[in-house]
Amino acid sequence: MRKVLEKHRPEIVQFCAPSVMAHDGEGNGPSNVEVARRLGAKYIFAQVGNLQDAKDAFAAGCDVILTQGREAGGHGLRSEVGAGTLPLAAAVLRLRETSAHKPLVLAAGGICDGGGPGAVLAFGCGGAGLGTR
Which active-site residues does the annotation give?
A: 75
Distances (CA, A) of 115 to 24, 70, 107, 118, 125: 42, 18, 13, 5, 14
Instruction: Please check whether residue 130 is in contact with residue 67, taking contact to mean a CB–CB distance below 8 angstroms.
Output: no
CA atoms within 13 A on the CB side of 3: 1
Q: Which residues pair with 122 in a beta bridge?
A: none
